[in-house]
Amino acid sequence: MKRLAVAIVLLFLVGLIPTSFSVGASTTHVTKTVSIEPTDDTWIAESGYVDYKTYRLAVGTYYGKEERAYLKFNLNGVIPKGAVIVSATLWLHAYNHYGYRTHNISVYGVLDDNWSEDTLRWYNQPTDAVGPLDWRVISLPDGNVNADFTWNVTEFVREQFETDGVVSFYLHSNLSHVDVKDYIYFTSKDSKYIDEHPKLIIEYYVPVAVKSLEINEPLYSGIPGKVYVSITNSGDAETNVTFYLKINGVPLYTENITLGPKSTETLEKTWIPMAKGEYNVTAEVVGDGINDFITKQVQVYVNPYRLFYGLTYLYENGYNRIAPQLDELYENLTATVQELQKCGVNLGDLSDDVKWIETNYNLTKAEYAKFLEMKNRTALFLSGNRLYTYSVMVHIRKARFLAQDVVERIEKVLPILQETLVKVEPLCHPPVNETNQTQTNQTAGNVTAPSNGTVTNQTMANYTIHITKALIDLSHGQYYFTKYGFTGLQENIENLGWEVNVTYAPLTYDELKKYDVVILTNPKTKLSDEEISALRKYVEEGGALFVAGDWYKYLSEGLNVLLEGTGVQFEKTELMDDDRNSGKPYYPFIGIYNRNCAITKYIPENWTMYYNGDTLKITGDAKWVIRGYESAYAVDAEGNTVYEKGSEPVVAAAVTFGKGRIVVYGSSKALSDAYYSKYIKSNWPFIKGALLWLVGEES
- On whether residue 457 sits in a domain, the answer given is no
- On whether residue 121 sits in a domain, the answer given is yes
- On whether residue 447 sits in a domain, the answer given is no
- Which of 185, 205, 225 terminates a domain? The answer is 205
Question: Do 110 and 90 contact (CB within 8 A), yes or no?
Answer: no
Question: Do 451 and 342 contact (CB within 8 A), yes or no?
Answer: yes
Is there a single domain that holds both residue 135 and residue 251? no
* CATH code of the domain in which 135 resides: 2.60.120
219-220 and 250-259 strand pairing = unpaired
Distance between CA atoms of residues 502 and 683, nearest Å: 20
Is there a single domain that holds both residue 161 and residue 237? no
* CATH code of the domain in which 248 resides: 2.60.40.10
Going through 495-640 in order, the beta strands assigned E by DSSP cover 499-503, 517-520, 544-548, 568-570, 574-577, 589-593, 609-610, 616-618, 623-628, 632-635
Distance between CA atoms of residues 467 and 695, nearest Å: 11
Mean pLDDT of 164-187: 96
Provide the pLDDT confidence category of residue 135 given band limits of 50, 70 and 90. very high
- On whether residue 113 sits in a domain, the answer given is yes
Distance between CA atoms of residues 201 and 646, nearest Å: 72
Give residue-wise pLDDT tens across range 77-92: 898 776 789 999 999 9
Is there a single domain that holds both residue 268 and residue 331? no
Q: Residue 328: what pLDDT?
A: 97
* CATH code of the domain in which 511 resides: 3.40.50.880
- On whether residue 106 sits in a domain, the answer given is yes
469-473 and 517-520 strand pairing = parallel
Res. 568: pLDDT tops 80: yes
Q: 294-298, 350-354, 381-385, 585-589: which has the minimum mean pLDDT?
A: 381-385
Give residue-wise pLDDT tens across range 220-252: 887 889 999 999 988 767 888 999 999 999 999
Is there a single domain that holds both residue 359 and residue 498? no
Q: Which residues contact 554 (CB under 8 A, 6 or more apart)?
A: 479, 522
Nearest Cα to 68, choosing from 143, 225, 176? 176
Is there a single domain that holds both residue 504 and residue 415? no
- Which of 397, 412, 428 terminates a domain? The answer is 428
- On whether residue 194 sits in a domain, the answer given is yes
Going through 159-207 in order, the beta strands assigned E by DSSP cover 166-173, 181-187, 199-205
Give residue-wise pLDDT tens across range 363-418: 999 999 999 988 877 555 554 444 456 778 899 999 999 999 999 999 999 999 99
Is there a single domain that holds both residue 533 and residue 391? no
Q: Which residues contact 347 (CB under 8 A, 6 or more apart)?
A: 337, 340, 354, 417, 445, 446, 447, 464, 465
- Which of 255, 276, 301 terminates a domain? The answer is 301
Q: Which residues contact 408 (CB under 8 A, 6 or more apart)?
A: none
Distance between CA atoms of residues 250 and 342, nearest Å: 77
Res. 439: pLDDT tops 70: no
Q: 205-214, 327-336, 609-618: which has the minimum mean pLDDT?
A: 205-214
Is there a single domain that holds both residue 507 and residue 520? yes
Provide the pLDDT confidence category of residue 303 given band limits of 50, 70 and 90. confident
Is there a single domain that holds both residue 15 and residue 71? no
Give residue-wise pLDDT tens across range 332-367: 999 999 999 999 999 999 999 999 999 999 999 999
Residue 659, exposed/middle/buried by CB under 10 A (0-12, 13-18, 19+)? exposed
Is there a single domain that holds both residue 514 and residue 587? yes
Is there a single domain that holds both residue 482 and residue 631? yes
Q: Residue 16: what pLDDT?
A: 35
| Number of domains making up the chain | 4
Q: Residue 458: what pLDDT?
A: 55
Structural domain containing residue 150 = 30-205
Give residue-wise pLDDT tens across range 4-54: 444 444 444 433 333 333 333 333 456 789 999 999 999 999 999 999 999
Is there a single domain that holds both residue 63 and residue 192? yes
Is there a single domain that holds both residue 168 and residue 233? no
Give strand pairing partners of 33. 203
- On whether residue 451 sits in a domain, the answer given is no
- On whether residue 480 sits in a domain, the answer given is yes
User: Quick check: helix, strand or coil at residue 292?
Assistant: strand
Q: Residue 440: what pLDDT?
A: 39
Write down the pTM of the prediction.
0.53
Give strand pairing partners of 656. 661
Distance between CA atoms of residues 678 and 288, nearest Å: 73
